[in-house]
C-alpha cells in the first residue's frame, strides 16, 4: 500500500440486509493528522494495520492498537485521533443494511465494547494488499471482492473471539493466573498482558472490573504490594531493592503508594512488624525473659545456669528483629 490515502465508493443498496457503501485506507505517517468528530450516518469498521490512536464514543475513551478492530455504530457521537508518537495506519469499511446491527452484535461489538482483537492471517493480508492496489491504480474493483475482504476481516475477529473469550469467569481466572506468574517480570505491563493473551485492552479492563470489582492495574499493584510487605518482614533487603524486585520501575512511586496504603513509610512498617514479632517471641518463650541476674548466695549458680539461655535469647532477638522468621533456623 504505497498511497497514504485512498477511497472507493459503491452504490448504496438500502434494500439489502447487509451492504458496503465505501472502503478506504489512511496512513497518518504521511498525511497530516486530523480529528474526526461527527455523527455517523452508517456503520464503520476500522482495522489497525500499525500504530495506535484514541477512539471516543459518547464521551467514553478507548485506546486502540495494532491488529485491533473498532466499530462505530450509526447515529452515535464519536471522534478518533492518531497517536502523536506512533500514528496509526488503518483500513476502513462503511456498511449498513437491515441486519447490520445484528451482524456486529453477533461478533460481540457494542457501543460500550467497540474494540476487538483480530488475527492477521496471510490470506487477509494478501487480499487487503490486492484490494488497495486496485483502488490506488484506479483499476475497477468488484463490489463482491470488497465484500469478501470485509467478511474475511470479520471472520478473523470471530475466530479470535471464539478462541479467547470463553465464559467470562474462566476468562478472568485465566488472566489472573497469567498475572500471578508474570507480574514481577521487569517488562510486565497491561500492553504486554494483552499481547500475550491476544485480547483487546478495552475488553480486558471491562470484563476484569465487572468480575473482580477492581481494575487490572489495581489488582497487579495489590500483588506487588503484598510481595513488598513480605520482603520487608522477612529479609534485610533495602527498600529500593524491594521496590525493584516487586516490579516498580520508579522508587518514588512505590514509596508514595506504600505510605498511602499503610500510613507509614516502608522502613517504619518493617520496624513495626519486627517489634510485633519480637513481642510474640517473648510471649511464647517467657522463661528467657525471666532469666535475669539477681543477688544472694544462690545467684551466682543460677546466673551460670541461665547464661547460655540468656545469650541465645539475645542473639535470637537480634536475628529475629533483622531477619524475621528465618532466625529460628539460626538459634534452635
pLDDT of 288 > 50? The answer is no
Cell of 208: 476484569
**SS3 for the chain, per residue?**
CCCCEEEEECCCCCCCCCEEEEEEEEECCCCCCCCEEEECCCEEEEEEEECEEEEEECCEEEEECCCEEEEECCCCEEEEEECCCCECEEEEEEEECCCHHHHHHHCCCECCECEEECCCCHHHHHHHHHHHHHHHCCCCCCHHHHHHHHHHHHHHHHHHHHHHCCCHHHHHHHHHHHHHHHCCCCCCCHHHHHHHHCCCHHHHHHHHHHHHCCCHHHHHHHHHHHHHHHHHHHCCCCHHHHHHHCCCCCHHHHHHHHHHHHCCCHHHHHHHHHHHHHHHHHHHCHHHHHCCCCCCCCHHHHHHHHHHHHHHHHHHHHHHHHHHHHHHHHHC
Of the chain, the percentage scoring pLDDT greater than 90 comes to 16
CA-to-CA distance for 261 and 134, rounded, in angstroms? 60
The stretch 248-277 carries a mean pLDDT of 85
For residues 212 and 161, which has the higher predicted lDDT (pLDDT)? 212
Q: What does the pLDDT look like over 121-161, one tens digit per residue?
A: 677 778 877 877 776 676 777 788 888 888 888 888 866 55
pLDDT of 4 > 60? The answer is no
- The neighbour count for residue 249, using CB atoms within 10 Å, is 11
pLDDT of 228 > 90? The answer is yes
The model's confidence at residue 328, banded by pLDDT at 50, 70 and 90, is: very low
- The neighbour count for residue 74, using CB atoms within 10 Å, is 15
CA-to-CA distance for 55 and 61, rounded, in angstroms? 6
Q: What does the pLDDT look like over 151-205, one tens digit per residue?
A: 888 888 866 554 444 456 667 887 888 888 888 776 788 877 776 666 677 778 8
The model's confidence at residue 36, banded by pLDDT at 50, 70 and 90, is: low
The stretch 281-296 carries a mean pLDDT of 48
| Residues contacting 101, CB < 8 A, separation 6+ | 43, 73
pTM: 0.48
Q: Given this model, what pLDDT does residue 226 score? A: 93
The model's confidence at residue 330, banded by pLDDT at 50, 70 and 90, is: very low
For residues 69 and 302, which has the higher predicted lDDT (pLDDT)? 69
Q: Given this model, what pLDDT does residue 164 score? A: 46
Q: What does the pLDDT look like over 51-104, one tens digit per residue?
A: 999 988 888 889 999 889 999 988 888 888 888 888 888 888 999 888 888 888
The model's confidence at residue 113, banded by pLDDT at 50, 70 and 90, is: confident
Q: Given this model, what pLDDT does residue 141 score? A: 72
CA-to-CA distance for 31 and 99, rounded, in angstroms? 35
CA-to-CA distance for 178 and 192, rounded, in angstroms? 11
Amino acid at each position: 500500500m504505497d498511497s497514504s490515502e485512498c477511497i472507493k465508493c459503491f452504490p448504496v443498496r438500502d434494500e439489502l440486509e447487509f451492504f458496503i457503501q465505501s472502503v478506504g485506507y489512511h496512513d497518518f505517517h504521511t498525511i497530516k493528522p486530523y480529528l474526526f468528530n461527527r455523527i455517523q450516518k452508517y456503520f464503520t469498521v476500522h482495522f489497525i494495520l500499525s500504530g495506535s490512536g484514541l477512539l471516543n464514543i459518547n464521551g467514553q475513551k478507548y485506546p486502540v492498537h495494532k491488529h485491533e478492530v473498532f466499530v462505530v455504530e450509526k447515529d452515535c457521537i464519536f471522534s478518533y485521533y492518531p497517536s502523536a508518537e506512533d500514528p496509526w495506519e488503518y483500513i476502513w469499511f462503511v456498511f449498513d443494511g437491515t441486519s447490520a446491527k445484528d451482524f456486529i452484535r453477533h461478533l460481540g461489538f457494542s457501543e460500550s465494547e467497540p474494540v476487538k482483537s483480530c488475527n492477521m492471517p496471510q490470506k487477509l493480508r494478501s487480499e487487503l494488499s490486492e484490494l488497495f492496489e486496485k483502488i490506488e491504480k484506479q483499476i475497477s474493483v468488484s463490489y463482491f471482492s470488497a465484500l469478501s475482504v470485509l467478511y474475511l476481516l470479520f471472520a478473523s475477529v470471530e475466530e479470535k473471539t471464539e478462541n479467547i473469550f470463553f465464559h467470562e469467569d474462566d476468562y478472568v481466572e485465566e488472566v489472573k493466573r497469567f498475572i500471578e506468574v508474570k507480574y514481577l517480570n521487569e517488562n510486565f505491563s497491561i500492553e504486554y498482558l494483552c499481547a500475550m493473551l491476544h485480547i483487546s485492552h478495552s475488553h480486558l479492563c471491562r470484563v476484569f472490573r465487572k468480575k473482580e470489582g477492581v481494575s487490572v492495574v489495581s489488582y497487579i499493584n495489590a500483588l506487588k504490594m503484598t510481595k513488598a510487605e513480605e520482603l520487608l518482614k522477612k529479609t534485610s533487603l533495602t527498600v529500593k531493592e524491594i521496590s525493584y524486585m516487586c516490579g516498580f520501575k520508579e522508587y518514588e512511586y512505590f514509596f508514595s503508594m506504600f505510605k498511602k496504603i499503610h500510613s507509614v513509610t516502608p522502613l517504619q512498617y518493617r520496624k513495626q512488624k519486627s517489634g510485633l514479632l519480637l513481642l510474640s517471641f517473648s510471649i511464647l518463650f517467657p522463661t528467657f525473659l525471666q532469666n535475669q541476674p539477681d543477688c544472694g548466695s544462690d545467684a551466682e549458680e543460677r546466673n551460670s545456669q541461665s547464661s547460655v539461655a540468656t545469650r541465645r535469647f539475645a542473639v535470637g532477638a537480634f536475628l529475629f528483629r533483622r531477619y524475621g522468621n528465618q532466625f529460628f533456623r539460626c538459634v534452635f
